[in-house]
Amino acid sequence: MGEQVITLSLPSSMQHVSLLDVVITEILREMNFAEELQMQVNLAVIEAGTNAIKHGNKEDLGKRADFQFILSEEKLTIIIQDQGPGFTREDVADPLDPANLLKSSGRGIFLMEECMDSVDFEAKGTIIKMVKYKETPDPEEIR
Amino acid sequence: MQVNIRHKGSVTILDIEGKIIGTDTLALKKVIDKQLETAPEGKLNLILNMARVQMMDSSGLGILVASYSTIKRNEGRIVLLNLGGNIRSLIVMAKLVTIFDRYDTEAEAIASFL
């Protein structure tokens, strides 16, 4: 199978997170990812979608959150783009710091990075590119 | 997501089913807040039965943490029941295992309040 590209463009309403969930769930099932990996990617995509819609686009219905799913034999690449001002990854506090453990927010980026094989932030954080391999890759293969 | 509310003595049990993601996290917060409002003197003894929760996102985790703080401030307690593998992994990943008491049976969870 060569690469297949699926795109999804959502108005920035949190109501649409469930639609994003349906799409990524079906893609992962179609690609035959192991069940545990399906849950990890599913969670990372929900986090990235929430990040784009809520924090990036501030739930402005005039702005869109765009998703590109690139399916190949060995991996799934997901590119998420929002129309917000962006952010600096280094400015996001560590949610595992004891001082932050009881905070009610700030875990999304951390969970994305934990669940995916790679997560890269481009264009001031308005574009996030995430990759998950179906089999655990050698560290050198990830980038 | 669906939530069924049960009461056993002074303990409130929420049986949660589905995925706690997106707008469902706010729906769960409303349910918990309502229970807090109606608890005697605001002291809520709460069991969240997670047996049928397939997935929870960081917003869901945030609701759990915020509820933990509010309930504890009012001298109540929140405990987690029947964590499946996915939710257990999430709680471990977020280093919240030391915050939440967890039980595998409803009887044990209820007994923990006595």
Per-residue pLDDT of chain A (143 residues), as tens digits, is: 689 999 999 999 999 999 999 999 999 999 999 999 999 999 999 999 999 999 999 999 999 999 999 999 999 999 999 999 999 999 999 999 999 999 999 999 999 999 999 999 999 999 999 999 998 776 666 55
- Number of folded domains in chain A? 1
Whole-number pLDDT of residue A102: 94
pLDDT of the residue at A48: 98
Chain A 18-47, residues with CB within 8 Å of chain B CB atoms: 18, 21, 36, 39, 42-43, 46-47
In chain A, % helix, strand, coil (3-state, to 5) comes to: 40, 25, 35
* The pLDDT value given to residue A142: 57
Q: pLDDT at position A141, please?
A: 61
Residues within 8 A of B (CB atoms), A 122-141 only:
none
CB contact under 8 A, A14 and B22: yes
- Name the CATH superfamily, with its identifier, for domain B2-111: STAS domain (3.30.750.24)
List the single best residue of B19, B33, B58 to mutate versus A (max A Cβ within 10 A): B58
pLDDT at A1: 62
pLDDT digit string, tens, across residues B50-86: 999 999 999 999 999 999 999 999 999 999 999 999 9
| Angle, CA A16 vertex, CA A92 and CA B53 arms, to 5° | 80
Q: How big is the A-B interface in CB pairs under 8 Å?
A: 65
Phi, psi for residue B53 in degrees, rounded to 5: -90, 120
The yes-or-no verdict on residue B109 having pLDDT over 90 is yes
- In this complex, which of B23, B24, B61 lies closest to A107 when CB atoms are compared? B61
Tokens of A36: 């545990």
* Residue range(s) defining the domain that contains residue A47: 4-142
Could you state, in order of their start, the residue ranges of all structural domains in chain B?
A: 2-111
Place of tokens 């589905």: B18
Backbone angles phi, psi at B76, to 5 degrees: -100, -170
pTM for the full model? 0.93
Å from A29 to nearest chain B CA?
Answer: 15
Q: Dump pLDDT digits (tens) for B9-59.
A: 999 999 999 999 999 999 999 999 999 999 999 999 999 999 999 999 999
Is there a contact between B65 and A14 if contact means CB atoms under 8 Å apart? no
Residue A137: give its domain's CATH number: 3.30.565.10
Angle between helices B58-73 and A35-50 in degrees, nearest 10: 80
Q: How many Å lie between the alpha carbon of B59 and the closest alpha carbon of chain A? A: 7
Q: Give the residue-averaged pLDDT of B88-95.
A: 95
What is the DSSP secondary-structure string of A58-108?
TT-TTSEEEEEEEE-SSEEEEEEE--S----GGGS--TTSGGGTT-SS--H
Phi and psi torsions of B47, nearest 5°: -110, 125
Query: What tokens were used for A35?
Result: 């069940």
